């Protein structure tokens, strides 16, 4: 059994235990593991109930394998983005281009990743009635017969069929099976030895508790076959903590940090009433008390899971439950993660002195004004930064990189991607700045007033 490397304060332990126990009782879950982690290290975990009813009173531990189901989609999305970064596909590529001969035009990879294709939710056939899922040939043939239930690119509509097709695309481009690509590209490099398609003990049981009785019924084990890319993985809390550490701060040899950041950008709002749930490129985005959490939930017969991370702090909340009906795993996981973040935030990085002040940046630092609003330009670690006076204290600054003489590009923060140009007077002094075409001057001016 893997043990946490660190521990939480006693009062934090009590609060997290209370939250987990309340959820387990309210939703009558036979057994669950609740856990929190930071940067991949499990700080707290609590097993409640029985991992399997064959061994009453023996709860899940950090090494107990469970079906993480649709959390698999985060792995499939990373595989797709690896292929994109390798130049082997574009997010604008369509299924009929990548799977020649297939029907349904205009279904792009970006839409598949963000559930905005408008395609039906499941493969053709009553798969959740028969529990018989297609092989690869049947999946592709079924794609052609599938219904486009909504206009493409218009609404969020969750589609396991779409992610199954992404798995087929990965397999075709890699000349391998999706499972082999997953093993070679992600599981082996990241050391996720307890994550895979074949369950290995110790395992959690799979149960259903009917609403009017308290006797759990064992659920069947589902073979997802060619739909595995949408939700077939087994994993543990230890491995999923490591996976989410990667989603927060990736190993650049596996996937670039900028690509993970791209995956974390909202593509569509899924919760049109509360605006607290959206989707990025394969990542579920939950907004909780002004904090963004990225991750996913999963559900298969007898298994409900949720794993979510606050990327800035590397804080992860995890919920692994052995019941078909177990409440909202996203709510529980983010509640646990937020409780840890609130009570024990990570220690702030100490301020460290810089080592250089480039000559060309000296005349640019200080106060500037645009549209009557004040900005402060400064230098940190040799790079030019800008911050709007009225921006929240925790908002990141804009960061610039030099692209030529008196020319810069915004690489992060406000106006990312936009140019910053230095305008000089006849004597060579800096007269004004032009950022995204807006004029910046040393004194506040109206649009029509000339620069002194």
Tens of pLDDT, residue by residue, the chain (452 residues)? 444 446 899 999 999 999 999 999 999 999 999 999 999 999 999 999 999 999 999 999 999 999 999 999 999 999 999 999 999 999 999 999 999 999 999 999 999 999 999 999 999 999 999 999 999 999 999 999 999 999 999 999 999 999 999 999 999 999 999 999 999 999 999 999 999 999 999 999 999 999 999 999 999 999 999 999 999 999 999 999 999 999 999 999 999 999 999 999 999 999 999 999 999 999 999 999 889 999 999 999 999 999 999 999 999 999 999 999 999 999 999 999 999 999 999 998 899 999 999 999 999 999 999 999 999 999 999 999 999 999 998 899 999 999 999 999 999 999 999 999 999 999 999 999 999 999 999 999 999 899 88
Residue where a domain terminates, one of 343, 368, 392: 343
Residues 124 and 202 in one domain: yes
Rounded to an integer, what distance in angstroms lies between the CA atom of residue 318 and that of residue 335? 10
Chain centroid to Cα 316, Å, comes to: 11
User: Domain residues for 416?
Assistant: 359-440
Same domain, 329 and 388: no
pTM for the model stands at: 0.94
Handedness of CA 271, 272, 274, 276 (dihedral sign): positive
Helices 10-27 and 329-343, packing angle to 10 deg = 170
Question: Is the residue at 449 inside a domain?
Answer: no
113 and 143 inside one domain:
yes
Give the C-alpha separation, 297 to 279, whole Å: 12
DSSP 243-269: HHHHHHS--TTTS-HHHHHHHTS--EE
pLDDT in the model for residue 5: 46
Cα dist. 318→32, 259, 358 in Å? 10, 24, 46
Report which DSSP code applies to 186: I
Task: Name 258's Cβ contacts closer than 8 Å, sequence gap at least 6.
Answer: none
Residues 388 and 338 both lie in one domain: no
Same-domain check for residues 245 and 369? no
Please list, in sequence order, all residues whose beta carbon lies within 8 angstroms of the beta carbon of residue 89, skipping any fewer than 6 positions away. Answer: 80, 83, 98, 109, 169, 173
Count of domains observed in the chain: 2
State which of 313, 343, 373 marks the end of a domain. 343
The pLDDT value given to residue 6: 64
Which is nearest to 230 in space by CA: 197, 275, 192?
197
58 neighbors 49 (Cβ within 8 angstroms)? no
pLDDT at 452: 86
d(CA 90, CA 81): 9
Q: Is residue 2 part of a domain?
A: no
CATH number for the domain that contains residue 225: 3.40.710.10
* 286 part of a folded domain: yes
Query: Left (φ > 0), alpha (ψ -120 to 50) or beta: where does 165 sit?
Result: alpha
Residue 288's H or E segment, with its range, is: strand 284-288
**Do 286 and 380 belong together in one domain?**
no
Angle (CA) 188 191 196, round 5°: 65
Count other Cβ atoms within 10 Å, centred on residue 297: 23
218 and 265, same domain (yes or no): yes
């Amino acid at each position: 059994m893997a043990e946490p490397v660190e521990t939480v304060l006693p009062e934090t332990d009590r609060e997290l235990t209370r939250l987990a126990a309340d959820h387990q009782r309210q939703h009558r879950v036979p057994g669950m593991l609740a856990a929190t982690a930071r940067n991949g290290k499990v700080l707290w975990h609590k097993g409640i109930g029985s991992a399997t009813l064959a061994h009453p009173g023996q709860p899940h531990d950090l090494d107990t394998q469970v079906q993480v189901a649709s959390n698999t989609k985060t792995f499939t999305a990373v595989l797709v983005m690896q292929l994109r970064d390798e130049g082997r596909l574009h997010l604008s590529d369509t299924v009929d281009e990548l799977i020649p001969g297939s029907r349904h035009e205009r279904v792009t990879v970006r839409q598949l990743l963000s559930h905005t294709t408008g395609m039906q939710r499941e493969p053709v056939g009553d798969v959740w009635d028969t529990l018989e899922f297609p092989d690869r040939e049947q999946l592709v043939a079924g794609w052609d017969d599938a219904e486009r239930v909504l206009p493409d690119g218009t609404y969020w509509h969750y589609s396991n069929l779409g992610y199954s097709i992404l798995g087929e695309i990965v397999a075709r481009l890699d000349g391998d099976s999706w499972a082999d690509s997953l093993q070679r590209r992600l599981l082996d490099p990241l050391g996720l030895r307890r994550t895979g398609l074949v369950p290995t003990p110790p395992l959690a049981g799979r149960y259903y508790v009917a609403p009017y009785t308290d006797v759990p019924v064992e659920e069947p084990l589902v073979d997802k076959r060619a739909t595995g890319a949408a939700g077939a993985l087994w994993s543990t809390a230890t491995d999923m903590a490591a996976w989410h550490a990667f989603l927060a701060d990736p190993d650049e040899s596996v996937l670039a940090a900028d690509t993970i950041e791209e995956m974390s950008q909202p593509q569509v709002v899924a919760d049109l009433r509360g605006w607290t749930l959206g989707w990025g490129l394969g990542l579920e985005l939950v907004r909780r008390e002004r904090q963004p959490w990225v991750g996913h939930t999963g559900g298969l017969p007898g298994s409900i899971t949720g794993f979510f991370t606050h990327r800035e702090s590397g804080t992860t909340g995890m919920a692994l439950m052995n019941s078909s009906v177990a409440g909202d795993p996203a709510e529980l996981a983010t509640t646990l993660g937020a409780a840890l973040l609130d009570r024990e935030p990570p220690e702030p990085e100490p301020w460290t002195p810089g080592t250089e002040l480039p000559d060309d940046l000296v005349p640019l630092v200080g106060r500037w004004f645009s549209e009557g609003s004040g900005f402060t330009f400064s230098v940190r670690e040799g790079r030019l930064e800008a911050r709007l006076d009225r921006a929240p204290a925790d908002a990141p600054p804009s960061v610039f990189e030099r692209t030529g003489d008196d020319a810069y590009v915004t690489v992060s923060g406000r106006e990312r991607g936009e140019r910053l140009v230095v305008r000089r007077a006849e004597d060579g002094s800096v007269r004004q700045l032009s950022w995204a075409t807006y004029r910046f001057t040393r004194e506040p001016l109206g649009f029509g007033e000339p620069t002194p």
